[in-house]
């Protein structure tokens, strides 16, 4: 089968869906691998490295799309690119299916079988395929470094001849994969770290990393949704949450927000009134900017100043570390693809939880319920 790895040419994406190491795995699984020329250039992978791994280099993006039986990408193909893909081909990417509805419809109308790495079930068997976690880890790490580079104060406690410098105060909102990595990185830099999450179950993880967990008194599982993800909370909880965050955010030098609800816009945790209460010189890194942002003032891919407070809405933070981001993503997508190959043949078992859970279009139909409901609702 012809497996295509096109060059990512949308939104200046720097990652790539395969590395020379994963190309070898894919060839061993029985696939003929074709890579568009310079597909890996922004991740510092040359065409020769792909060739040495056994891939064929193709000069035309149109040719590689039109010939492929399977296409693996970071970002989903554009609507125009979808029209070039032959019907019944398989496309795997990081498509946000409830937000990128034009692409979903184009995939359906082209009778493509489409799978999203965003939809891979959070199960033990699928851990190696969990691209959201691998990329969120990078985002949490890099967000702290980006904030530190913007700060006008030190991160760690310093004892100097001129006096003692207190450590910076860092507040993390959301203690999922990105939040926990942000906590660990901020602690390594010597900051005083606090973290909030609607899920009390993460308290032990937060405290094991040396941060203080701040929490709202609740029933214990109010913010815990399916698969361990956060879910929407009651209005009463939200009011008490706002009061708690306001109390701590006014003292913070850095705030890193990571709160997401699958399939829905990011919850607003920081209204403008809270930003007004922050210290001039403080930083907000909004890791939820792609889904609307956790801060009311966040503008996707913009860095703005509001009364001396910097709000950074960079959406593709993993893309600022393309070498490791590509390496990890390539391993995730290869794990999913090789899982679907049995005895050298692609086996689309629609009864399989991982395959059916990751799929959103097949045989001219939208197969993912939440995506379908979003489109029709």
What does the block give as tokens for 322? 């393309």
> Do you know the residue count of the chain?
377
pLDDT value at position 61?
Answer: 83
* Spatial distance between the Cα atoms of 192 and 214, rounded to a whole number of angstroms: 13
Q: 364 phi and psi, to 5 degrees?
A: 75, 15
Domain boundaries, the chain: 2-129+321-376, 137-315
Separation CA 251–CA 228 (nearest Å): 30
Indicate the SS3 state at residue 96: coil
How high is the pLDDT of residue 16? 98
pLDDT digits (tens, 9 = 90+) for 215-270: 887 665 555 555 555 556 677 888 888 899 999 999 999 999 999 988 889 999 99
pLDDT of residue 224: 57
Task: Please tell me the distance from the alpha carbon of residue 3 to that of residue 140, in angstroms, as a whole number.
Answer: 32
User: What contacts 343, CB < 8 A, 6 or more positions away?
Assistant: none
Helix (H, G, I), strand (E, B) or coil at 29: coil
Please choose, from the candidates 34, 46, 106, 94, the residue with its C-alpha nearest in 3D space to the C-alpha of residue 70.
34
> At 80, which helix (H) or strand (E)?
helix 79-82
Q: Which residue in 127, 119, 268, 258 sits closest to 180, CA to CA?
A: 258
Could you tell me where the beta strands, DSSP code E, fall in the chain? 2-5, 32-36, 56-58, 70-72, 90-93, 113-116, 158-160, 163-165, 169-173, 192-196, 212-214, 254-257, 283-286, 303-306, 309-312, 341-342, 345-346, 359-362, 365-366
Q: What is the pLDDT of residue 30?
A: 94
Residue 294 near residue 230, CB atoms below 8 Å: no
Whether 33 contacts 56, CB under 8 Å: yes
In angstroms, rounded to a whole number, what is the distance separating the alpha carbons of residues 127 and 122? 7
Task: Show the tokens assigned to 234.
Answer: 């009651």
* Residue 302 three-state SS: coil
Q: 71 - beta bridge partners?
A: 4, 91
Q: Which residues are catalytic?
A: 122, 127, 130, 133, 229
- Measured at the CA of 126, the angle between CA 124 and CA 132, to 5 degrees, comes to 110
| Token duo for residue 115 | 């799978």
- Alpha helices by DSSP H, listed for 5-60, are 20-28, 47-52
Region of 250 on the Ramachandran plot (φ > 0 left; ψ -120 to 50 alpha; else beta): alpha
What residues have CB less than 8 Å from 325, skipping those under 6 apart?
Answer: 14, 15, 43, 134, 135, 138, 318, 319
Tokens 């509001």 — which residue?
306
* CATH of region 2-129+321-376: 3.40.50.720
Q: What is the pLDDT of residue 342?
A: 85
Give the three-state DSSP class for 192: strand
Half-sphere exposure of 259 toward its Cβ, with a 13 Å CA cutoff? 27
The low-confidence residues of the chain, meaning pLDDT below 50, are none
> Domain 137-315 is in which class?
alpha beta
Neighbouring residues of 208: CB distance < 8 A, sequence distance ≥ 6: none
Predicted confidence at residue 56, as pLDDT, reads: 97
pLDDT of residue 221: 54
Closest CA to 31 of 84, 75, 73, 69: 69
Tell me, what DSSP letter sits at residue 69?
S
Q: Is 100 exposed, middle or buried (0-12, 13-18, 19+ CB in 10 A)?
A: buried
pLDDT score at 75: 97
For residue 320, the SS3 value is: helix
**Which residue reads 């937060």 in tokens?**
206
């Amino acid at each position: 089968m012809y497996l295509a790895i096109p060059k990512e040419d949308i939104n200046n994406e720097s990652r790539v869906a395969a590395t020379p190491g994963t190309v070898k795995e894919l060839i061993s699984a029985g696939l003929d691998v074709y890579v568009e020329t310079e597909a890996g250039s922004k991740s510092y992978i040359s065409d020769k490295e792909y060739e040495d791994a056994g891939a064929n280099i193709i000069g035309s993006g149109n040719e590689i799309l039109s010939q492929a039986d399977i296409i693996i990408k970071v970002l989903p193909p554009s609507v125009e690119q979808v029209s070039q893909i032959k019907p019944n081909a398989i496309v795997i990417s990081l498509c946000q299916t409830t937000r990128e509805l034009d692409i979903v419809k184009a995939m359906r109308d082209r009778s493509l079988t489409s799978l999203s790495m965003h939809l891979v079930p959070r199960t033990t068997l699928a851990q190696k395929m969990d691209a959201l976690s691998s990329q969120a880890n990078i985002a949490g790490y890099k967000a702290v470094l980006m904030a530190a580079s913007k700060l006008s104060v030190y991160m760690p406690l310093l004892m100097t001849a001129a006096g003692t410098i207190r450590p910076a105060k860092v507040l993390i909102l959301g203690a999922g994969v990105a939040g926990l990595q942000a906590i660990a990185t901020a602690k390594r830099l010597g900051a005083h770290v606090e973290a909030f999450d609607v899920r009390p179950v993460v308290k032990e993880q937060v405290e094991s990393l040396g941060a203080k967990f701040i929490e709202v008194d609740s029933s214990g599982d109010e913010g815990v949704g399916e698969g361990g993800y956060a879910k929407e909370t009651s209005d009463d909880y939200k009011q008490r949450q706002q009061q708690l965050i306001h109390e701590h955010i006014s003292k913070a030098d850095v705030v890193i927000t990571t709160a997401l609800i699958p399939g829905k816009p990011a919850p607003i945790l920081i209204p403008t009134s809270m930003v007004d209460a922050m210290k001039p010189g403080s930083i907000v890194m909004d890791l939820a900017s792609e889904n609307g942002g956790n801060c009311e003032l966040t503008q996707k891919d913009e860095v703005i100043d509001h009364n001396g407070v910097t709000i950074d809405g960079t959406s593709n933070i993993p893309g600022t570390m393309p070498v490791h981001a590509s390496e990890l993503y390539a391993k995730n997508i290869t794990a999913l693809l090789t899982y679907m190959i049995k005895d050298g043949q692609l086996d689309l078992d629609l009864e399989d939880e991982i395959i059916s859970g990751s799929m959103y279009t097949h045989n001219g139909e939208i197969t993912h319920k939440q995506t379908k409901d979003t489109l029709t609702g």
